[in-house]
Amino acid sequence: MGKTSKKKMKFWTIEEYRQFMTGIEPGSKYYVLFELLFWTGAREGEALSITPADIDFERNLLHINKTYYRMHGEDVITSPKTEESNRTISIPEFLKKEIQDYISRLYELPEDERIFPMVHEAVQHKLKQVVQKTGVKKIRVHDIRHSHAAFLINKGVQPLMIKERFGHTDIRITLNTYGHLYPDQQKVVADMLDDENIKSSGSTNNRSNVTNGDESTNVNPRQVDYSRDSSREQQIIGENSLKNGGIYGTEK
| Residue 168 known to be catalytic | yes
Q: Can 43 be counted among the known catalytic residues?
A: yes
The residue from 17, 29, 43, 96 that is catalytic is 43
Catalytic residue selected from 17, 30, 68, 178: 178
Nearest to 126 by CA among 144, 150, 114: 144
CA nearest to 33, candidates 129, 119, 107, 136: 119
Catalytic residue of the set 18, 59, 81, 97: 81
Query: Which is the catalytic residue, given 145, 146, 148, 165?
Result: 145
Choosing from 29, 96, 126, 168, the catalytic residue is 168
Rounded distance, CA 78 to CA 72, Å? 15
Give the whole-angstrom CA distance, residue 182 versus residue 157. 10
Active-site residue, selected from the candidate residues 6, 142, 180, 252: 142
Annotation says 145 is catalytic: yes
- Residues 102, 166, 81, 111: what is their CA dihedral angle, to the nearest 10 degrees? -20
- Cα angle 178-179-183, degrees, rounded to a multiple of 5: 115
59 is catalytic: no
Catalytic residues: 43, 81, 142, 145, 168, 178
